[in-house]
Structures are given as structure tokens and as C-alpha cells.
Amino acid sequence: MTRRSGRRRTQAERTASTRAALLDAAVGCLADLGYAGTTTTEVARRAGVSRGAQLHHFPSKIDLLVGATAHLLDRRLTEFRKAFADAPAGMDKLDTAIDVMWSMYSGATFISGLELQVAARTDAALRPFVIGQQQRFVEEAAAIFGELFGDSLAADPAQGRVNLAFTFALMDGVALADLLGEQPFAAPDDVIDALKIVAHLILPPTPEETP
């Protein structure tokens, strides 16, 4: 008789794996089917788990979406940090930062997050969780930018946060228009190039950029 090799997973590991599969499936459903089309039954099917297992981990749709909101943010922050880490060396730091931010406005992570934001407008149970995760993302993004441009932002931290909020607000609008296929004035990448010009005007140079 051949003995199976490998360590058996613990109950905690199996539980974590099932939860992750359900949350990944929920994010995929939101991106593919939208908030209205995301059902617990479809999420369970995509995750490859039984309906009973799904109900054990997330008894209701709101429980599942609250979990997906936090899971989505963790994914977005991981992608955010990886994109900065993978940025080419020797590139203009500010332009690279803007390019990395803009790269986050596509794919399932962005679309799923957008679906949750729209749903939270009229869903009182979901709203506080979405707002809380948005605030967490802003704080994490501010921390990352603080590491990149600490000396430039230290003189006026409040203005630095305004600049970051301005950048996110502009990208939100450009991405939404592009998602709907509406580009009445300029191509999205041209708008982002204009943002880089403005950013260089309002953000003081970092020490290594100062002649």
C-alpha cells in the first residue's frame, strides 16, 4: 500500500481556505454580475463549496459582503504595495507614484469596490463597513506616500492629504467615465499626464530632486 505523502491540513487551515475561496468568489461575482446579480448561491457555486458550508461561514448576503469589503481592501493594498515595489528604478518618483495609483483603477478589484460603494449608498447595513474600509485605504495610501515623499510633505501634512484626496477624486472620475465608455473631452491617459504636470507644480521637490 502506498502511503500518502504530505501533511494533512489543520481545521484552522481548512477554515481559512474555505473563507478565502468564498471571499474571492464574492469579489469575482461583484465584478462580473454586479451587486444585484451577486447571490450567496452563485458565490458558493463559484467557490466550489456546499451551500451549507457557505451559510456556516457567512449566514447572509450582508455578512458575505461585509467580509468581501475587508478582503477587497486587503487585496487592493497588496496590489498597491507590489506595484510600487515593482516600479522601474531611475524613473521620476512622482510620475511613477501617479502611474501606480492609476494602475489600480482597472480590473476586478476596482470594479468590485465600485459596486460595493454604489450599493452602500442605499444599504444602511453595508454603508458603515464600506466607509470604514475606504478610510483605512486612504490612511494606508497616505502612509505609503509619506514614505516616498516624507520630507516634501512634512512641512504641511494637511495640504499633503488634500493633494492625495484631489488625486484620488480625479482618478475616480476619469475611471468611472472610462468604465461607461464616455470620453467627451480627452483620453484617460492624457488626463493623467495633465495630472502629473499639476502635481509637479504643487508638490515641493524631494531632496534628491533639488539641484
Q: What is the CATH number of the domain that holds 137?
A: 1.10.357.10
pLDDT at 3 over 90: no
23 inside domain: no
Task: Please check whether residue 64 is in contact with residue 58, taking contact to mean a CB–CB distance below 8 angstroms.
Answer: yes
11 inside domain: no
Q: Identify the pLDDT of residue 64.
A: 92
pLDDT at 209 over 60: no
188 inside domain: yes
Q: Identify the pLDDT of residue 133.
A: 85
Domain span including residue 144: 66-209
Alpha-carbon torsion (173, 177, 183, 189), positive or negative: positive
pLDDT tens-digit readout, 154-181: 567 787 778 888 888 999 888 888 887 7
Q: Identify the pLDDT of residue 5.
A: 54
Indicate the range of 34-43, 78-87, 193-202 predicted with least confidence. Answer: 78-87
| Cell numbers 461607461: residue | 180
DSSP annotation of 92: -
Residue range 14-34: mean pLDDT, rounded: 93
Q: Identify the pLDDT of residue 206.
A: 55
When comparing pLDDT for 72 and 91, which is higher?
A: 72
10 inside domain: no
Alpha-helical runs (H) found in 157-206: 157-179, 188-202
195 inside domain: yes
| Cell numbers 531611475: residue | 90
Q: How many domains does the chain have?
A: 1
% of the chain surpassing 90 pLDDT: 34
- For residues 179 and 176, give the distance between their C-alpha atoms in angstroms, rounded to a whole number: 5
151 inside domain: yes
- For residues 69 and 76, give the distance between their C-alpha atoms in angstroms, rounded to a whole number: 11
pLDDT at 147 over 80: no
pLDDT at 1 over 70: no
- Write down the mean pLDDT value for the chain: 84
- For residues 12 and 163, give the distance between their C-alpha atoms in angstroms, rounded to a whole number: 43
When comparing pLDDT for 35 and 87, which is higher?
A: 35
Alpha-helical runs (H) found in 49-156: 51-57, 61-85, 93-103, 107-122, 127-154
- For residues 51 and 40, give the distance between their C-alpha atoms in angstroms, rounded to a whole number: 8
Q: Identify the pLDDT of residue 68.
A: 87
49 inside domain: no
103 inside domain: yes
